[in-house]
Structure 1
Amino acid sequence: MLPITENTELLPYGQLATRQWLLTQGVEVYQIDNSLKSRKFESLARGVVARPGVPVEWQGVLASLYRMFECPVYVGGASALAQHGLAHYIQLQTVVDIYAAQPAPSWISKLSCNVEFRWHTTVQIWDAEKLLVANSLKLVPLHQGCWLLASPEQAYLELLAKVPSAISFEQADNIMQSLVNLSPRRLDVLLHACKHVLAKRLFFFFADRYQHAWRNKLQPKSYDLGAGKRSVIKGGNFNKAYQITVPEAFSG
């Protein structure tokens, strides 16, 4: 193995690594300490190091998580839609939505990347095994690495799981209006993998409003939409088709 200061595979420029992860890769404690003392490494947060000279941007953080985590860690939800050019109101420069099955590492909130990392656990949204079949995560190339980006289909369902707590009903509706080219085949797999009943009901509610070409290829009865009424908006009007309350402006 190359000395750690020369091994850019373990710690590429523009990315980061935790001490714990480096130790699992065969790096010795003294090597990390010596690299910090000689300023060949710099400390970004407690237990987190990077190579000096190249700032670690949010893409580099995602590429680092892709290397270090056992489960997929990806940009999803509103941020993924913004990356695809489908959510213009979202300022990706200030917030990046990260999705993973594991909890957020404590150090991620300590990084200075000029963005806020908003971490979402996927356990309540996705059936992990079924989600893998969807093949809905895209590898985005980065210098000496890559990071993961959710497809528009997956990202929109993730966004709907945040209505109305983080995303307004009106914003979700505006985005659906622009989702002309979704893949019905991918949507079919994702809707089967999605465990969030309200997100699926909202998906079909908004899809019915715009009747894009792909809508006719999906039948709501094919998916588990749960039972009973669900309240989206307090004091809203009741939609019988999907058993949800919606704002008065969206009824009728």
Structure 2
Amino acid sequence: MSTDNRLKINQLLSDNPSGIVYLSSWMVGQGYSLDLQKRYRKSDWLTSIGTGAMIRTGQDVTYQGAIYALQEQAGLSVHPGGKTALALLGKSHYLQMAPNKITLYGGADERLPTWFLNYDWGLELDYHGSSFLPPEIGLTEIEHKTFSIKISNASRALMECLYLAPKKQDLLECYQLMEGLNNLRPKEVQKLLESSSSIKVNRLFLYLGEKVNHAWFKHLDVSKIDLGEGKRSIIRNGVYDSKYKITIPKELANDEL
């Protein structure tokens, strides 16, 4: 390998944090041709983890390093959300969490690349693509070793949980999660609810917020939130709440938690 090419790979590795995935398409845009990338793999500087993705040889790369690449190199809105985000934020310590499962969210037209799906991250991936919330709001950055990634903040994370309820997320657990969110920012919650296109999520979030009776709930302007028209049957054989026009679990309605 020529001195110039060696200097170039050193520059790439020094300019970027350790423990991340390098996307081949992004590298081409940075001036690293496909042929040059092939030379770096042959010289054992980089190791392929699937078509279009590489890591620095010898480094232990976790799913966070892959999320970093999707966000910073591919410009995707894919992010840890729901219960995973709440766990990362320390908001779900009293709930039963699957230690080897992470929940990711992205836009309705976004898909996890094949290399991400096929690589063994040592955990189960649970991905949901939806556009019920805009991709640019309700996110916060968390540090992971040498870099940071965007994840859902607590308000958005709970809304993502409610989006999956009741088929893929237990509503009683959502209530328990809401109980722990006593310090949400009213303006932040208001913006998310006004931006949400899911009537189910909006009604359930307000129902749970009011039931828990957190101080921030009193500062919301419900008149600006789209609650739709008519009744919504959330679950079968539930109890009907006339204010929010939803059916909810009997245990939740009767405070049998």
TM-score after normalising by structure 2: 0.87
**1:11 touches 1:50 (CA, 8 Å); kept in 2?**
no
Q: Determine the C-alpha separation between the residues in 1 that align with 2:96 and 2:37.
A: 39
1:194 is matched by which residue type in structure 2? S
DSSP-derived class of the 1:118 partner: strand
Q: How does 1:191-210 map to 2 (within 5 A)?
A: 191-210=193-212
| 1:81 aligned residue | 86
Shift of 1:233: 0.9
| 1:122 aligned residue | 130
Percent identity between matched residues is 25
- Which one is further off, 210-219 or 81-90? 81-90
Q: Number of residue pairs matched? A: 246
1:229 is matched by which residue type in structure 2? K
DSSP-derived class of the 2:164 partner: coil
| 1:69 aligned residue | 74
Match of 1:235 among 234, 237, 250: 237
| 2:114 aligned residue | 106
Where in structure 1 are there 5+ consecutive unaligned residues? none
| 1:177 aligned residue | 179
Q: Determine the C-alpha separation between the residues in 2 that align with 1:93 and 1:5.
A: 36
DSSP-derived class of the 2:178 partner: helix
- Which one is further off, 192-201 or 213-222? 213-222
- Which one is further off, 74-83 or 84-93? 84-93
Shift of 1:100: 2.2
Shift of 1:12: 4.0
Answer yes or no: is 1:58 the counterpart of 2:63.
Answer: yes
**1:229 touches 1:243 (CA, 8 Å); kept in 2?**
yes
DSSP-derived class of the 1:147 partner: strand
Say if 1:90 and 1:53 are closer, same or farther in 2 by CA, change over 3 A: farther
Say if 1:211 and 1:73 are closer, same or farther in 2 by CA, change over 3 A: same
Shift of 1:120: 2.1
Q: Determine the C-alpha separation between the residues in 2 that align with 1:139 and 1:149.
A: 6
Q: Determine the C-alpha separation between the residues in 2 that align with 1:191 and 1:11.
A: 36
| 2:28 aligned residue | 23
**2:79 touches 2:151 (CA, 8 Å); kept in 1?**
yes
Per-residue CA shift, 1:30-79, capped at 9, x if unaligned? Answer: 11111111211111122221111211112212222222122433221111
Match of 1:225 among 220, 224, 227: 227
DSSP-derived class of the 1:60 partner: helix
**2:23 touches 2:69 (CA, 8 Å); kept in 1?**
no
Shift of 1:174: 0.9
Say if 1:92 and 1:195 are closer, same or farther in 2 by CA, change over 3 A: same
Q: Determine the C-alpha separation between the residues in 1 that align with 2:251 and 2:65.
A: 43
DSSP-derived class of the 2:54 partner: strand
Q: Determine the C-alpha separation between the residues in 2 that align with 1:91 and 1:249.
A: 22
RMSD: 2.0
Per-residue CA shift, 1:113-165, capped at 9, x if unaligned? Answer: 21223222231x1145xxx4x4x322223444321122101111111101112
Match of 2:38 among 33, 37, 55: 33
Where in structure 2 are there 5+ consecutive unaligned residues? none
Shift of 1:171: 0.5
Match of 2:97 among 91, 95, 105: 91
1:190 is matched by which residue type in structure 2? L
2:121 is matched by which residue type in structure 1? C
Shift of 1:224: 0.3
| 2:190 aligned residue | 188
**1:41 touches 1:51 (CA, 8 Å); kept in 2?**
yes
Q: Determine the C-alpha separation between the residues in 1 that align with 2:240 and 2:103.
A: 31
Q: Determine the C-alpha separation between the residues in 2 that align with 1:248 and 1:72.
A: 37
Per-residue CA shift, 1:193-228, capped at 9, x if unaligned? Answer: 111110111111111211111111114332101112
Say if 1:175 and 1:142 are closer, same or farther in 2 by CA, change over 3 A: closer
Q: Determine the C-alpha separation between the residues in 1 that align with 2:128 and 2:96.
A: 17
